[in-house]
Structure 1
Amino acid sequence: MILQISVAMKAMPWYCALPTISEYLTEIGWTKSFPRLNNVGWLAFLVYLAIYLVFVEFGIYWMHRELHDIKPLYKYLHATHHIYNKQNTLSPFAGLAFHPLDGILQALPHSLGLFIIPVHLNTHLLLIFIEAIWTANIHDCIHANLWPVMGAGYHTIHHTTYRHNYGHFTIWMDWMFGTLRDPMDDEAKVM
């Protein structure tokens, strides 16, 4: 766990740079982000938010999957995170123990979305904050089963098989692209 904390603390300033740059570009007007809900209204806000969340889910799924499938990316970037590959080596700190470039690549869909989809700036920042908490949560090995949420049970399987459950907040992308492995199925096999 000390190694996980050390890796996370060294990488964190680097992968905090992307949201900082994104916020600056938003503040100078280069993104489609908007500052107030009354700029677009509640209905448009909810529609844009749904589109943004799907975009982020899709982007993070594919970025994460490619970090596994493209061998040099895995070897030089993502393997740093996957040294924690057993249930007893995972902890909330492992969720932030990434190579800095790996963390930036996986956060990229959040920032790219700002240039494509109108999204409320504070909502975007809140989602980035929630993502940090979420990342720690899915590495804590406390297996709650709340479909379609990508919980720790699903993500622990990801760390032990390397070929399943690449998703972000939900399991939908894994289900759509054939990489879903349900922890309930694994428990049924054991019994």
Structure 2
Amino acid sequence: MGTSGADHLRQIVEETDWYNGIVLDAVVPGGAWKRLPRPLQSWLRNYIGGTALYLVSGFLWCFYIYYLKRNVYVPKDSIPSNRAIYLQIIVAMKAMPWFCVLPTLLEYMAENGWTRCFASVGEVGWPAYFVYLTIYLVIVEFGIYWMHRELHELKPLYKYLHATHHIYNKQNMLSPFAGLAFHPLDGILQATPHVIALFLVPTHFTTLILLMFCEVVWTANVHGCIHGKIWPVMGAGYHTIHHTTYRHNYGHYTIWMDWMFGTLRDPEQEFKKPD
């Protein structure tokens, strides 16, 4: 690559410091957070930022689909109760401290040069950047599909981990806040393909952080029960089917893996109850 190893790692560390400053300076007076160990700084920033993003995106999405567009996208009898939403938030908040361990670990590994992250697009050039990004996303899509599918097909994993999320198995029980209502280990397992991909393909560090940000927004969107009908996106219509049949639409961002492995079900089809 175009820069030395030391310069490359220094740029990643400086970028992480900048992210930490944006969040932590706003909530920790006097810069006291700077005295914390670096991993704890990143974890605290991920926790505060992740919690704020989850709550803000969830409330805005609920306000839009349940109030501003009431009965337009979601029928009145399919709107979850306030209590159901509250309980989803409680589950997510209990898991959030653990969810934030993984992005913190990713940053720590990148800062120490243990991954194939690079700091600047100039190190590889734009054509290579897009090739690497495409390969990264394919690896993540493949990995999350199979991790999610095994969480269903391996009975102990489903019983002790994934069942926590699948109590939301009807449209009137799903809301954007269900997106992070997981057992902590379940959520971490489904995100591990991001870690694996970092050892297999060069990845732009800023893009990695952006993808982590998008994960929270995306998971709120796909639990909102609105089918956007944008091919080949795995929209909320597909994911609602997943929550009602348990055996279809395991994919993450797209429908391609489900199409390839025979588990795709289109939202236009009539729902079937699980066997």
Shorter-chain TM-score range = over 0.9
Q: Corresponding residue for 1:103? A: 187
Looking at CA atoms only, which structure, 1 or 2, has the larger radius of gyration? 2
The answer on 1:11 being equivalent to 2:66 is no
Partner Cα distance (1:64, 1:53) in 2? 16
Q: CA deviation at 1:185?
A: 2.8
Unaligned 5+ residue runs, structure 2? 1-84
Letter in 1 for 2:222: I
Instruction: Give aligned-pair identity as a percent.
Output: 73
Partner Cα distance (2:208, 2:268) in 1? 33
Letter in 2 for 1:142: I
CA RMSD of aligned residues (A): 0.9
Normalising by structure 1, we get a TM-score of 0.96
Ranked by relative contact order (alpha carbons within 8 Å, sequence separation 6 or more), the top structure is: 1
Secondary structure in 2 matching 1:74: helix
Letter in 1 for 2:221: N
Unaligned 5+ residue runs, structure 1? none
* Alignment match of 2:169 (pick from 85, 92, 102): 85
- Aligned residue pairs: how many? 187
Partner Cα distance (1:122, 1:184) in 2? 38
The answer on 1:143 being equivalent to 2:227 is yes
Secondary structure in 2 matching 1:185: coil
Q: CA deviation at 1:184?
A: 1.8
Normalising by structure 2, we get a TM-score of 0.67
Letter in 2 for 1:27: E
Secondary structure in 1 matching 2:247: coil
Secondary structure in 2 matching 1:117: coil
1:33-72 aligned within 5 A: 33-72=117-156
Partner Cα distance (1:112, 1:33) in 2? 12
Partner Cα distance (1:69, 1:185) in 2? 23
Q: CA deviation at 1:13?
A: 1.1
Segments ≥4 residues shifted beyond 4 Å: none
Partner Cα distance (1:60, 1:41) in 2? 28
- The farther-off stretch of 50-59 and 107-116 is 107-116
After superposition, what is the alpha-carbon deviation per residue over 1:78-121, rounded to whole angstroms, capped at 9, x for unaligned? 00000000000000110100000000000100111111110101
Partner Cα distance (1:93, 1:49) in 2? 29
